[in-house]
């Protein structure tokens, strides 16, 4: 695993831990399909929440949440649609969140952006 992949995995774990502490139940991680990937899928109440996690070692060159481009959003939405096509649970509302993780000497700093983007047309 490269340093970048390791940092990403640590960020995803920190985000999953944060979501659990906030009352979410993680139902899937790293769901991939031909057209995209979503890092975390969580349930909270009647919602299925698709979460993109962005991790940076420092904010010196921009905040992690700024790296969620329109193209990245489309790939997350494609993976969410693939997941929903296979979903066998009860019908749920859907939301797309971003968790931004910045590493620091005191440990990771997380910002959770609920409803960060939508599925579009």
Q: Do 21 and 2 meet the contact criterion of CB atoms below 8 Å apart? A: no
pLDDT at 4: 67
pLDDT at 48 over 80: yes
- Total of domains in the chain: 1
Which residue range(s) make up the domain with 80? 3-117
pLDDT band at 73 (very low <50, low <70, confident <90, very high): very high
Domain harbouring 90, CATH code:
3.40.1350.10
pLDDT band at 41 (very low <50, low <70, confident <90, very high): very high
pLDDT at 33 over 70: yes
Average pLDDT score over residue span 17-35: 96
Q: What are the tokens at 32?
A: 């991939």
Share of the chain above pLDDT 90, in %: 67
């Amino acid at each position: 695993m490269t340093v970048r992949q390791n940092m990403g995995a640590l960020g995803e774990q920190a985000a999953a831990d944060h979501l659990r502490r906030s009352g979410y139940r993680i139902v899937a991680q790293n769901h991939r399909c031909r057209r995209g990937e979503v890092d975390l899928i969580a349930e909270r109440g009647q919602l299925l929440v698709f979460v993109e996690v962005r991790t940076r070692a420092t904010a010196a060159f921009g905040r992690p949440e700024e790296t969620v481009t329109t193209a990245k959003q489309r790939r997350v939405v494609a993976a969410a649609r693939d997941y929903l096509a296979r979903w066998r649970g009860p019908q749920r509302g859907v939301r797309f969140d971003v968790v931004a993780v910045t590493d620091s000497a005191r440990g990771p700093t997380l910002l959770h952006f609920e409803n960060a983007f939508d599925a579009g047309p």
